[in-house]
Structure 1
Amino acid sequence: MENIEVPEYFICPISLQIMKDPVTAITGITYDRESIEHWLFKNHNTICPVTKQPLPTDSDLTPNHTLRRLIQAWYIANGANGIDRIITPKPPASKLYVLNLVLDLSVPRSKIRALEKLELLAKENERNRQYMVEGGVRNALVSFFIQCYRKCDINGLDKALTTLSLIWNISSCETMVENHEEIVDPIMWALGLDHEMQNHAVIKNHAMCVLRSVIGKANSGTLERLRPEFFKKMIGFLRESCVITQKGLDAALQVMLDTSSLSRNRNMMIESRAVFELIELELKFSNKKTTELVLGILFHLCSCADGRAQLLSHAAGIAMITKRILKVTPTADVRAMSILSLISRYSATSGVLQEMLKVKTVSKLCTVLQADCPSHLKDKAREILRTHFDVWKNSPCVEVATLTKYV
Structure 2
Amino acid sequence: MDDNIEVPKYFICPISLEIMKDPVTAVTGITYDRESIEHWLYTSNNTICPLTKQPLPRDSDLTPNHTLRRLIKAWCASNAANGVQPIPSPKPPLSKFHAVNLIRDLSFPDLQMKTLQKLEALALENERYWVLMVGAGLGTGLISFIISCYEKRETRGLEEALSLLYLVRTPLGKSGGPLTENDEIIKSMMWVLVCDCLRDNVVVKSQAAYALRVIFQKANPRMLESLKPDFFKNILSHLGEFGNICRKGLNSLLYVLLDACPWGRNRVWMVESGAVFDLIEVEIRSQEKKTTELVLGILYHLCSCADGRAQLLSHTAGIAVITRPILKVSSMVDDRALSIIWLISKYCGTNEVAEEMLRVGTVAKLCMVMQANYAPHLKENAREILMTHSDVWNVSLSLYVSTLTR
TM-score class normalised by the smaller sequence:
0.7 to 0.9
Q: State how far apart, in whole Å, the 1-side matches of 2:225 and 2:51 are.
A: 47
Q: Answer yes or no: is the 8 Å Cα contact 2:209–2:253 preserved in 1.
A: yes
Q: Give the match for residue 227 of structure 1.
A: 228
Q: Distance in 2 between matches of 1:258 and 1:18?
A: 48
Partners of 1:265 and 1:198 in 2: how far apart? 27
Report what 2:81 is aligned to: none
Q: Would you say 1:200 and 2:205 are equivalent positions?
A: no
CA contact 1:122–1:167 (8 Å) conserved in 2: no
Correspondence 1:365 to 2:372: no
Q: Distance in 2 between matches of 1:234 and 1:297?
A: 14
1:54 shift after superposition: 6.0
Asked if the contact 1:23–1:33 (Cα under 8 Å) also holds between the matched residues in 2, the reply is no
Deviation of 1:368 after TM superposition, in Å, equals: 1.1
Structure 1 equivalent of residue 347 of structure 2: 346
- Aligned residues of 1:122 and 1:129 also touching (Cα < 8 A): yes
Q: Percent of pairs identical after alignment?
A: 49
Counterpart check, 1:36 vs 2:41: yes
- After superposition, the C-alpha distances for 1:256-314 in whole angstroms (9 at most, x for unaligned) are 11110111110011111111111111111221111111100000000011111111111
Provide TM-score, normalisation by structure 2. Answer: 0.80
Q: Residue 373 of structure 2 aligns to a residue in which SS?
A: coil
- After superposition, residues 119-198 of structure 1 pair within 5 angstroms as 119-165=120-166, 166=168, 168-169=170-171, 171-194=173-196, 197=198
Judged with a 3 Å threshold, the aligned counterparts in structure 2 of structure 1 residues 167 and 336 are, in CA distance, closer, same or farther, namely closer
Cα separation, partners in 2 of 1:397 and 1:193, compared to 1, 3 Å: farther
What letter corresponds to residue 234 of structure 2 in structure 1?
A: K
For 1:374, the equivalent position in structure 2 comes to 375
Q: 1:338 to 1:36 in 2, by over 3 A?
A: same
Change (3 A) 1:24 1:343: farther
198 and 279 in structure 1: CA distance in 2 versus 1, 3 angstrom threshold:
closer
Q: Which amino acid aligns with 1:154?
A: T
2:314 corresponding residue in structure 1: 313
Conserved in 2, the CA contact under 8 Å of 1:146 and 1:183? yes
Shift of 1:244: 5.3
Contact between 1:129 and 1:170, CA under 8 Å: does it hold in 2? no
Q: Tell me which structure has the larger Cα radius of gyration.
A: 2
Counterpart-to-counterpart distance in 2, 1:207 and 1:397: 55
Give the conservation status (yes or no) of the 8 Å contact 2:162–2:207. Answer: yes
Shift in Å at residue 97 of structure 1?
3.8
Q: Which amino acid aligns with 2:376?
A: S
Supply the AA of the counterpart residue of 2:37.
D
Q: Relative to structure 1, is the Cα distance of residues 63 and 341 closer, same or farther in structure 2, using a 3 angstrom cutoff?
A: farther
Structure 2 partner of 1:211: 212
Give the whole-Å Cα distance in 2 for the aligned partners of 1:22 and 1:349.
Answer: 75
8 A contact 1:92–1:125 mirrored in 2: no
Range with bigger deviation, 162-171 or 363-372: 162-171
User: Secondary structure of the residue that 2:242 maps to in structure 1?
Assistant: coil
In the aligned structure 1, how far is the partner of 2:399 from the partner of 2:245?
42
291-300 vs 179-188, which moves further: 179-188
Distance 1:356 1:198, change over 3 A: closer
Aligned residues: 369
Offset from partner CA, 1:345-384 (integer Å, 9 cap, x none) = 1111221111111111111111111122222211111110
Q: Which runs of 5+ in 1 are unaligned?
A: 1-6, 74-88, 401-407
Unmatched runs of 5 consecutive residues or more in structure 2: 1-8, 77-89, 402-406
User: 1:96 Cα deviation (Å)?
Assistant: 4.3
Q: Is the 8 A contact 1:212 1:255 kept in 2?
A: yes
How far the C-alpha of 1:342 sits from its partner, in A, is 0.7
> What is the distance in 2 between the residues matched to 1:238 and 1:22?
50
User: How far did residue 399 of structure 1 move?
Assistant: 7.7
The Cα of 1:98 is off from its aligned counterpart by 2.6
